[in-house]
């Protein structure tokens, strides 16, 4: 593992503890993402996963419109890199629909299971 990723990944490992606090999880992914992009590249599958996680925790933290916007930016990248029918692309599409609905109704908070 690249040493430049060690500290942010160690902090990201605390996300499991942060599940009770979506804002903390969001902040950890926001810190990790620029490092991951720089080290692995913007189209690397791990970077795309981190982008998806940032969107999820942004929505869970109460900002469904920002989650929607992050996913709307991610979807065409996943389609280009992974293909339109890849399971991760399909999940992004479903997540985008969810956060679009939440944003439209003014949703603020925890996502369905």
Q: What is the pLDDT of residues 7-21, one digit of tens each?
A: 566 555 555 555 678
Q: Does the reported pTM lie above 0.85?
A: no
Q: What is the pLDDT of residues 25-53, one digit of tens each?
A: 898 889 889 988 998 899 999 899 999 99
Fold classification of 3-104 (topology level): 1.25.40
Q: Of all residues in the chain, what percent carry a pLDDT higher than 70?
A: 76
- Nearest-angstrom CA–CA distance, 39 and 22: 26
Domain locations in the chain? 3-104
């Amino acid at each position: 593992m690249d040493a430049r990723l060690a500290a942010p990944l160690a902090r990201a490992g605390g996300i499991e503890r942060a599940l009770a606090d979506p804002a903390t999880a969001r902040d950890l992914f926001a810190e990790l993402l620029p490092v991951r992009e720089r080290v692995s590249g913007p189209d690397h599958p791990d970077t795309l996963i981190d982008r998806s996680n940032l969107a999820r925790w942004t929505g869970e933290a109460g900002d469904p419109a920002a989650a929607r916007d992050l996913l709307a930016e991610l979807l065409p990248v996943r389609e280009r890199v992974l293909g339109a029918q890849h399971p991760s692309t399909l999940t992004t599409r479903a997540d985008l629909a969810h956060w679009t609905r939440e944003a439209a109704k003014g949703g603020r908070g925890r996502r369905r299971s």
